[in-house]
Amino acid sequence: MSSSGVEVPTRSGVPPVAAELSKSRRRRRRVRSVGRDLWWLILPGAAVYLYVVVVPTFQGMQGAFTDWSFATVGAPNFTGLENFTRIFNTDAGPAVLRTLQLALVVVILQNVIGLALALLFNGRVFGRNVLRTIVFAPMVVSALVVGYLFKYIFGPPGVGGVNQVLAALGLETVDFLGNPTTAMIIIIVTVLWQSIGGNMVIYLAGLQGVPAELEEAAALDGAGYWKRFWFVVRPLLAPAITINLMLGLIGGLKIFDQIFALTNGGPGNQTQTIATLIYSYFSQYADYGRSAALALLLAIGIAILSIIQFSVLRRQERNS
Amino acid sequence: MKIHKGLVTATVATLTAISLAGCVGGSGNAGTNNQPTGGEPSGTLTGLFFSGFKDTYEQIAADFKKKYPNVDVKFDYQGGDVGALTMTQLQGGTAPDILTSFPGGTKTDPADTVVSLAASGRIAPIGAPWAKDVPDAWKKSVNYEDKTFAYPGALQPLAAIFNKTKIDELGLKIPTTLDEVYGLCTAAKSKGVYAYSLGLGDPAGPQMLTYSQLGTLEADQAQFDADLASGKKTYADSVWVDQFEIYKKMGDQGCFGEGALGRSRDQAGEEVAKGSALATVDVGAALAPIQKKAPNSSFEVAPMPATNNAADTKVVALPGFVNTINAKAKNPTAAQAFLAFMGEAEPSVTYANGFASVPVLPNDAYKAPKELTAFADLIKRGAYQPLGTVQAEVQAQLNQTIQSLILGQSTPRQVAEKLDSVYKK
């Protein structure tokens, strides 16, 4: 477009804007056709995924409605909802509540601490790259190994590292894993120690995308640190918050390794969650049908909660 | 594009068919036998055993290879819950030729036990010469419908393992009555130690004291199991409640020391080795690691009293692991030969020593070590009690609800009622 609003003809006779448009259309068409030519390349991967994930998932769903167990000789019998009623007549009720509590606490703390660390290490802190690495390092260790490590750190009086320090200082020792309340706290501490690095990295990535000019402008307008964070940084961090909360909730609802290593659901079944019950039904009692039923309930529960959370967060993101 | 579409459709259809075929197919063994049944053993022999006894099995395997040089022995060793792994491998059709299983069991309880495995056709009968020598008392542990399905291994005590050096040093003595047990708890406390270090935080720890005292409290364990199965009896109206009362009282008196519920079985053993505790209650296999940690201390295995009449006290004896043959073994001939070999005099002694146990099969070549002399004598005299059958889910709940009992959140009767609620008739 010319400044006068009249199209200036080019040597080809096509106005430049129209030429540009047709060029980009051609480019778009070419890109689409390339994709169409090559999409079948995903077939090997899709086949593996189908065989390893999709088929066993449907098999498990089917098993949830049968009396399938280690003792089954031949095809299992269809039992309808019997596995589901058995589950809720035993330990699953308290385990469901405990799972929700654990997930909620872990998600909140993960994000609060993860965000705080990201803000800290995004600023001018001496040795921040080393500190970032230290915080992130536990992420690469097996969760089960971390669980056993903490089992020794918080072991009983006379054995555990923390208790030996307490005893050396003349303080009263604590049976951390033998008391249901402290055992649950140690599980949360273990999970947080391992997972906070992941949250921090996602928030750091989000913070890299916040333009410095915006913060400077807000500062010039007299906004303090918290106002700048709340009104400038936070809205721009919305996608990172969404991802962290989603991943945190999904992970929090299926925490298994740390509980298995630290307490195995004890003492007195009081750190038992849905994930550890699924393991018990499957591995200890060889009751595959009941285990599949509980796993199915967990999957449905996670899906429902995730959809609700996602839609709420997306709305907030748009509003931000 | 048409070619692509056709290719894609065909590929997806084929892969789906293959996938679904894989799903509906039974859990067959992935390979064919690498040796026909019968004849001289050859080929590869596979097995799955607990990693804690690797040295013992490797020694037996090396001796076996001397006898059968054409067999290539490839054993796998795993820590943790070997029973669960065995069941998973059997279910998935990836189990080796020789399996690690547990004695006895019931048909109604799907578990890695001889009866459960034999009833569902997952293990093969054993045709070894020693099968006829299994003592009557242990036939129930390894037989199913008059056929022998497992190598019985060795008998281990389920009893108190005392740090004899420490108890002598403090001028205390090993209790022979229940009142003496309580007395020992009080005396130990006054000397700055505690009496019994139990692995109450371990998934399999709390049950040990219960079983060790039921040997004395329950006159006929087999009859009780039968009455339980027929519905004539329940846990809540049995001597199990009496044992839980003892458990509670011992807990209240501080017999188990500080931090008992957070302690694993390994840590419990360490406490005894260090002399912080006087004894632990566990199976005989726990003795070797304790001795290793305290080579200068002496230890003694003694039955756990449950009444005030010392003459009533019986030691509980049990075969720990047993070995079975996968019904779908790739090399059944070598597997049969190996289990037959294990029952011979020398390998049997190697096995018993490795497990700190007494051979089940009569064996003149075996001489009990000092720590097990008393136990071996009790076995010889018949002053022992076999362990009853406890279903997998009952066992898991027993361990968890005993923890509740010690926490003061369950009564002895409620623990028993919980066991009744998960028992499968």
**CB distance A47–B401 less than 8 Å?**
no
| Model pTM score | 0.83
- E strand intervals along chain A: none
The label of the residue with tokens 């430049």 reads: A16
- For the segment A182-214, what is each residue's pLDDT rounded down to a tens digit? 999 999 999 999 999 999 999 999 999 899 899
**CB distance B404–A269 less than 8 Å?**
yes
Predicted pLDDT at A91: 73
One-letter amino acid identity for B112?
D
- Could you say which DSSP state residue A78 is in? B
**CB distance A175–B258 less than 8 Å?**
yes
Is residue A257 within 8 angstroms of chain B, CB to CB? no
Q: Which one of B1, B87, B407 has the shortest CB-CB distance to A267?
A: B407
pLDDT higher than 80, residue A297: yes
Q: Positive or negative, the Cα torsion across B74, B76, B82, B84?
A: negative
Is residue A56 within 8 angstroms of chain B, CB to CB? yes
Predicted pLDDT at A250: 92
Residues in chain B within 8 Å Cβ distance of A160: 262
pLDDT higher than 90, residue A39: no
Assigned token pair, B171: 């001028």
Q: Which one of B87, B409, B410 has the shortest CB-CB distance to A286?
A: B87
Q: Report percent pLDDT > 90 for chain A.
A: 68
Is residue A286 within 8 angstroms of chain B, CB to CB? yes
Q: Which one of A56, A163, A284 has the shortest CB-CB distance to B84?
A: A284
- For the segment A65-102, what is each residue's pLDDT rounded down to a tens digit? 999 998 887 889 999 999 999 888 877 889 999 999 99
Q: Which one of A46, A90, A178 has the shortest CB-CB distance to B262?
A: A178
Contact call for residues B308 and B208 (beta carbons, < 8 A): no
Is residue A101 within 8 angstroms of chain B, CB to CB? no
CA B9 to chain A, closest CA, distance in angstroms equals 10
Residues in chain B within 8 Å Cβ distance of A67: none
CA B139 to chain A, closest CA, distance in angstroms equals 22
Residues in chain A within 8 Å Cβ distance of B263: 155-156, 159, 178
Size of interface A-B (CB pairs under 8 A): 147
The label of the residue with tokens 């640190």 reads: A225
Chain A residue with CA closest to B87: the answer is: A70
Is residue A156 within 8 angstroms of chain B, CB to CB? yes
Residues in chain A within 8 Å Cβ distance of B406: 267
Is residue A35 within 8 angstroms of chain B, CB to CB? no
CA A142 to chain B, closest CA, distance in angstroms equals 17
3-class SS at A66?
A: strand
Q: Which one of A73, A265, A280 has the shortest CB-CB distance to B121?
A: A73
**CB distance B110–A286 less than 8 Å?**
yes
CA B373 to chain A, closest CA, distance in angstroms equals 32
Q: What is the pLDDT along chain B (425 residues), one digit of tens a residue?
A: 444 555 445 444 444 444 444 443 333 333 344 555 567 899 999 999 998 889 999 999 999 999 999 999 999 999 878 988 999 999 889 999 999 999 999 888 888 999 999 999 999 999 999 999 998 888 989 999 999 999 998 888 999 999 999 999 999 999 999 999 999 999 999 999 999 999 999 888 999 999 999 999 998 888 999 999 999 999 999 999 999 999 999 999 999 998 899 999 999 999 999 999 999 999 988 888 899 999 999 999 999 999 999 998 999 998 888 999 999 999 999 999 999 999 999 999 999 988 878 888 888 888 888 888 888 888 878 788 888 889 989 999 999 999 999 999 999 999 999 999 999 87
Q: Which helix (H) or strand (E) holds A318?
A: helix A288-319
Q: What distance in Å separates the CA atoms of residue B48 and residue B77, rounded to the nearest whole number?
A: 6
Mean pLDDT score of chain A: 87
CA A90 to chain B, closest CA, distance in angstroms equals 9
Q: What distance in Å separates the CA atoms of residue B415 and residue B398, rounded to the nearest whole number?
A: 7
Which residues, 6+ apart, have CB-to-CB distance to A101 below 8 Å? none
Q: Which one of A69, A173, A180 has the shortest CB-CB distance to B110?
A: A69
Assigned token pair, A23: 């060029």
Buried b (16+ CB within 10 A) or exposed e, B107-142: eebbbbbbbbbbbbebbbbbebebbeebeebbebbb
Predicted pLDDT at B28: 37
Backbone angles phi and psi of B195, in degrees to 5: -80, -55
Q: Which residue, among B393, B394, B405, would best test binding to A if mutated, counting the most A CBs under 10 Å from its CB?
A: B393
Chain B residue with CA closest to A266: the answer is: B400
Q: Can you give chain B as a three-state secondary structure string?
A: CHHHHHHHHHHHHHHHHHHHHHHHCCCCCCCCCCCCCCCCCCEEEEEEEEHHHHHHHHHHHHHHHHHCCCEEEEEEEECCCHHHHHHHHHHHCCCCCEEEEECCCCCCCCCCEHHHHHHCCCEECCCCHHHHHCCHHHHHHHEECCEECEECCEEEEEEEEEEHHHHHHCCCCCCCCHHHHHHHHHHHHHCCCEEECCCCCCCCCCHHHHHHHHHHHCCCHHHHHHHHHHCCCCHHHCHHHHHHHHHHHHHHCCCCCCCHHHCCHHHHHHHHHHCCEEEEEEEHHHHHHHHHHCCCCCEEEECCCCCCCHHHCCEEEEECCEEEEECCCCCHHHHHHHHHHHCCHHHHHHHHHHCCCEECCCCCCCCCCHHHHHHHHHHHHCCEEECCCCCHHHHHHHHHHHHHHHHCCCCHHHHHHHHHHHCCC
pLDDT higher than 90, residue A1: no
Q: Which residue, among A39, A42, A285, would best test binding to B if mutated, counting the most B CBs under 10 Å from its CB?
A: A285
CA A80 to chain B, closest CA, distance in angstroms equals 20
Q: Which one of B88, B203, B393 has the shortest CB-CB distance to A264?
A: B203
CA A111 to chain B, closest CA, distance in angstroms equals 30
CA A288 to chain B, closest CA, distance in angstroms equals 10
Contact call for residues A203 and A118 (beta carbons, < 8 A): yes
**CB distance B267–A159 less than 8 Å?**
yes
Cis peptide before A267 (omega within 30 of 0): yes
Is residue A126 within 8 angstroms of chain B, CB to CB? no
**CB distance A177–B261 less than 8 Å?**
yes
CA B379 to chain A, closest CA, distance in angstroms equals 31
Which has more confidence, A33 or B415? B415
Assigned token pair, A144: 């089960």
